[in-house]
A and B are shown apart, each in its own frame.
Chain A
């Protein structure tokens, strides 16, 4: 079956602009996760959804970051007033349910470059 897909694959934007990153999880997966991967660093947890609810938003770096999920399917990560430090690869993952032991399936990522 289809895996996790993300769009766009690459996004170049100017400082101060807003960007939206999209994630389509594997069909039937109720849990969805967003991570950020900065150059030379590990993955940084941002937020997760169980269904359409986000029980843990503690990883969002600032109030410029927000995310939503609709129809227990597609999710959008929005970054307002982008800064150069937002440049990174943003990865989305999904799993059957949001339990710690469940395997997370990752998408290919969106590479964001803020000029």
Chain B
């Protein structure tokens, strides 16, 4: 069974500051890792994903994440945030052969203030 832990339920940050949203996972098989963003009153949108290869993954809106197998982490980073980045961010994991359900963390609310 797979699981995801997002330790920070809320992260407040000032505009133009850097941010890191933490995600740790557990899995007994090789994993695929995803970050989704949910803007207010909208559906979830994929930010980036790690399937294989380079451990540093770049996504949309200037976000990037690094897969660290030894620490079982997939933290999301952005060097300079904007007000428009205010949203809920979900880390998710799946893996194995065929279809394995996508398991989500409980989410981190990023609050960007001027």
Contact = CB atoms under 8 A, between A and B. Distances in A.
Interface of A: 3-4, 31, 33, 35, 40-45, 48, 50, 55-56, 59, 91, 93, 98-101, 103-109
A108 B42 CA distance: 5
A4 to B, nearest CB: 7
Interface string B27-55: 00000101010000111111001010000
A100 B96 contact: yes
A41 B32 contact: no
Given A41-B106, A42-B107, A99 B99 contact: yes
B49 A43 contact: no
Assign chain B's interface to a size class.
20 to 34
B37 to A, nearest CB: 11
A107 B44 CA distance: 7
A33 B101 CA distance: 9
19 contacts: A3-B43, A42-B6, A42-B90, A42-B105, A43-B44, A44-B104, A45-B101, A98-B99, A99-B98, A100-B32, A100-B94, A100-B99, A100-B100, A100-B102, A101-B49, A103-B34, A103-B46, A104-B102, A108-B42
